[in-house]
């Protein structure tokens, strides 16, 4: 591509090696989660949410289990100020939930922020200012000392107004654009803010290190976080928070590696909505933990309800391939995948396993409110016999013999290919009925009778070439006798009659289903299916169906 030399690496590695995080295998406990959907997420919408939509969204976040929720920048907008006041005055904030508000390091903004918090039980006041080389040189045109002064002044103002305002307040500081800031400078400015706040075990504070722009590979961000964690003052009294964006598509990796590196808290949004390519997706992060047997302390058992609310109030869309939430993320169209999943599900059911290990499915879809039939096995021209057979069995109780599944699978794929569409279970069932069940042309079965001496003697009434007639045959069983009568009358030969039967339903109105396969002289196998309240009659109908496919 052109102009590759114009892109220099704008991030800064720590001055010493920080790789202790690489020795850890996985995250062992959930971080503190802070949703920033109502601030970072809302400001990234084409049409920001109105008051009613923000209230509905807030209630859903509470229902999911968030204990910290950033609700806005109350001093910057009358809408956000009103939203915050509504939450407080209508007592909509549960006792175990802490709201968070954002403020710049400016006296009048900080003052109005605390005014907006009047009457709140507890809140995090989040102070930020930009610290990166690009911001200092191009936007603010200030020296490092001047940037530090902005942060320290803001920290002092937070202490001042918090002391004058009734309520319980926790302080948070973010060196915005942390990833483009020299690490020692980021450490210096954070430590000077901490010197102002003097955190204690009873009155701890939050230092938030945002990947405002994701600029490096995830291991670099993790090393930056580890270095900061190792060198921050008052570390035991500091909650180290991570706020990854997704510019490089590595927001999840940035977050997970940073939790290994000392991060204790994550700021993100549902489904990753946020500026540019978005914030880190908390749904994915939480369910990644869940897939490792770690309780994320957030409840996504009703993920479809959450998606419905999210799409309706944000006017955004959860992509079909979005991890966990997307409509197609559990779907298997590939024949080999479907076969493995169907066999895995059956194994899981038969062995009553306490652990989940079904091929191709990271977690059990039912645990987040998804359904196997609608979400897992999906049929198109790429599908195979295993998935098609699985759907017939799950929806209609039809347990086809393996060889019959193979032949039927080709029929279904051909229909899907011709129509260029996915086929629903009812469409697959209709194809099966039309092609295999109780076929009456060119030979229609009407009734039969039999006697038994040394072998079975049978008389069968049929309709053939529009004429009703009776044919006779003998064999070592009733079905064999009927089969021999048919071969004689029609002048055909086949061998290796395969047979399977099972009950189709339970109760007084139960039916029997039978499957019969016959092998012609050229080796081709023809299958038929019979369904009837009488098991023997269903067998005869299955045989006639197979013969009709052979002579048609």
Q: Which of 287, 290, 248, 292 is nearest to 271 (CA)?
A: 287
Which residue in this structure is represented by tokens 């989040």?
126
Find the CATH number of the domain harbouring 497. 3.30.160.270
Residue 10: inside a domain, yes or no? no
Residue 425: inside a domain, yes or no? yes
Residue 322: inside a domain, yes or no? no
Q: What is the pLDDT of residue 381?
A: 56
423: β partners: 379
Q: Which of 482, 470, 475, 491 is nearest to 514 (CA)?
A: 482
Domain end residue (candidates: 386, 414, 433):
433
210 close to 178: Cβ distance less than 8 angstroms: yes
**Residues of the domain holding 489:** 443-551
- Name the pairing type of β-strands 494-503 and 512-520: antiparallel
155 to 151, 198, 213: CA distances (angstroms): 6, 11, 24
Q: Which of 271, 244, 119, 274 is nearest to 179 (CA)?
A: 244
Structure tokens at 236: 């035991």
Residue 76: inside a domain, yes or no? yes
| Residues 131 and 226 placed together within one structural domain of the fold | yes
Q: What is the pLDDT of residue 383?
A: 64
Tell me the H-state helices in 5-75: 42-43, 51-64
Residue 177 falls in which region: left (phi positive, over 0), alpha (psi -120 to 50) or beta: left
Burial 234-264 (b: 16+ CB within 10 A, else e): beebbbbbbbbbbbbebbbbbbbbbbbbbbb
- Name the pairing type of β-strands 68-72 and 32-35: parallel
Structure tokens at 189: 């400015």
| Residues 97 and 164 placed together within one structural domain of the fold | yes
Alpha-carbon distance of 330 to 312, in angstroms, equals: 23
99 close to 61: Cβ distance less than 8 angstroms: no
What does the pLDDT look like over 508-528, one tens digit per residue? 568 999 999 999 999 999 999
Half-sphere exposure of 140 (CA within 13 A, CB side): 16
Residue 5: inside a domain, yes or no? no
Residues 6+ apart with CB under 8 A from 203: 170, 237
* 8-state DSSP, 423: B
Handedness of CA 179, 321, 383, 359 (dihedral sign): positive
| Residues 249 and 379 placed together within one structural domain of the fold | no
Find the CATH number of the domain harbouring 86. 3.20.20.70
pTM for the whole structure: 0.81
| Residues 58 and 197 placed together within one structural domain of the fold | yes
Residue 108: exposure state from Cβ atoms within 10 A (0-12, 13-18, ≥19):
exposed
| Residues 188 and 133 placed together within one structural domain of the fold | yes
499: β partners: 516
| Residues 106 and 139 placed together within one structural domain of the fold | yes
Structure tokens at 365: 């879809």
Alpha-carbon distance of 263 to 268, in angstroms, equals: 14
| Residues 373 and 504 placed together within one structural domain of the fold | no
Full pLDDT tens readout for the chain, 552 residues: 999 989 888 999 999 888 999 999 999 999 999 999 999 999 999 999 999 999 999 999 999 999 999 999 999 889 899 999 999 999 999 999 999 999 999 999 999 999 999 999 999 999 999 999 999 999 999 999 999 999 999 999 999 999 999 999 999 999 999 999 999 999 999 999 999 999 999 999 999 999 999 999 999 999 999 999 999 999 999 999 999 999 999 999 999 999 999 999 999 999 999 999 999 999 999 999 999 999 999 999 999 999 999 999 999 999 999 999 999 888 877 767 777 888 888 898 888 888 999 998 999 999 999 977 566 666 665 665 677 887 888 889 999 998 898 888 888 878 878 888 878 888 989 999 999 999 999 999 999 998 887 788 999 999 998 899 999 999 999 999 999 999 999 999 999 899 999 998 755 568 999 999 999 999 999 999 999 999 999 999 999 999 999 997
| Residues 177 and 252 placed together within one structural domain of the fold | yes
| Residues 421 and 479 placed together within one structural domain of the fold | no
Alpha-carbon distance of 532 to 540, in angstroms, equals: 10
102: β partners: 126
| Residues 374 and 403 placed together within one structural domain of the fold | yes
| Residues 301 and 340 placed together within one structural domain of the fold | no
Residues 6+ apart with CB under 8 A from 365: 330, 371, 372, 375, 376
| Residues 417 and 307 placed together within one structural domain of the fold | no
414 close to 527: Cβ distance less than 8 angstroms: no
260 close to 222: Cβ distance less than 8 angstroms: yes
Alpha-carbon distance of 114 to 442, in angstroms, equals: 87
Residue 324: inside a domain, yes or no? no
Q: What is the pLDDT of residue 506?
A: 55
472 close to 458: Cβ distance less than 8 angstroms: yes
Residue 277: inside a domain, yes or no? yes
Domain end residue (candidates: 380, 407, 433):
433
Structure tokens at 364: 């059990």
How many domains is the chain partitioned into structurally?
Answer: 3
Residue 212: inside a domain, yes or no? yes
Domain end residue (candidates: 390, 405, 433):
433
């Amino acid at each position: 591509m052109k102009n590759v030399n114009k892109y220099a690496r704008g991030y800064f590695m720590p001055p010493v090696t920080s790789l202790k995080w690489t020795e850890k295998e996985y995250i062992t406990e959930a971080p503190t989660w802070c949703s920033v959907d109502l601030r970072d997420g809302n400001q990234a919408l084409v049409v920001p949410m109105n008051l009613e939509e923000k209230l509905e969204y807030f209630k859903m976040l509470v229902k999911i289990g968030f204990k910290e929720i950033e609700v806005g920048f109350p001093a910057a907008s009358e809408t956000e100020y009103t939203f915050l006041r509504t939450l407080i005055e209508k007592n909509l904030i549960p006792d175990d939930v802490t709201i968070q508000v954002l403020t710049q390091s400016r006296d009048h903004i900080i003052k109005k922020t605390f005014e907006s918090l009047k009457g709140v039980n507890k809140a995090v006041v989040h102070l930020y200012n930009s610290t990166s080389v690009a911001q200092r040189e191009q936007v603010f045109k200030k020296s490092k000392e001047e940037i530090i002064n902005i942060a320290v002044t803001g920290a002092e103002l937070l202490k001042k107004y918090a002391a004058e305002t009734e309520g319980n307040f926790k302080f948070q500081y973010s060196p915005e654009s942390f990833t483009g800031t020299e690490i020692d400078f980021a450490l210096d400015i954070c430590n000077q803010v901490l010197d102002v706040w003097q955190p204690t075990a009873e009155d701890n504070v939050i230092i938030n290190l945002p990947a405002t722009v994701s600029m490096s590979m995830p291991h670099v961000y993790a090393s930056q976080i580890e270095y900061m964690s190792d060198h921050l003052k008052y570390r035991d009294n500091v909650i180290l928070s991570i706020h990854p964006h997704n510019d490089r598509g590595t927001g999840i990796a940035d977050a997970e590696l940073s939790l290994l590196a000392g991060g204790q808290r994550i700021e993100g949004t549902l489904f990753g909505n946020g500026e540019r390519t978005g914030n880190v997706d908390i749904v994915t992060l939480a369910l990644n933990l869940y897939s490792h047997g770690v309780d994320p302390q957030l409840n996504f058992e009703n993920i479809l309800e959450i998606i419905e609310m999210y799409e309706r109030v944000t006017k955004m869309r959860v992509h079909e391939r979005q991890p966990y939430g997307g409509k197609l993320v559990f779907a298997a169209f590939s024949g080999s995948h479907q076969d493995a999943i169907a066999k895995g599900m059956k194994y899981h059911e038969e062995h009553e396993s306490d652990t989940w290990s079904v091929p191709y499915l990271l977690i059990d879809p039912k645990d987040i409110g998804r359904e196997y039939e609608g979400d897992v096995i999906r049929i198109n021209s790429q599908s195979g016999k295993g998935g098609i057979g699985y759907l017939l069995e799950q929806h209609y109780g039809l347990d086809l013999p393996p060889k019959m599944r193979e032949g039927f699978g080709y029929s279904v794929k051909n229909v899907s290919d011709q129509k260029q569409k996915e086929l629903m279970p009812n469409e697959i069932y209709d194809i099966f009925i039309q092609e295999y069940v109780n076929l009456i042309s060119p030979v229609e079965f009407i009734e039969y009778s039999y006697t038994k001496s040394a072998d079975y003697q049978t008389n069968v009434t049929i309709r053939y070439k529009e004429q009703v007639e009776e044919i006779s045959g003998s064999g070592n069983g009733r079905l064999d006798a009927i089969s021999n009568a048919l071969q004689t009358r029609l002048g055909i030969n086949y061998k290796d009659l395969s047979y399977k039967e099972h009950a189709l339903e339970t109760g007084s109105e139960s039916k029997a289903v039978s499957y019969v396969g016959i092998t012609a002289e050229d080796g081709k196998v023809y299958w038929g299916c019979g369904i009837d309240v009488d098991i023997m009659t269903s067998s005869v109908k299955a045989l006639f169906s197979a013969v009709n496919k052979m002579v048609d």
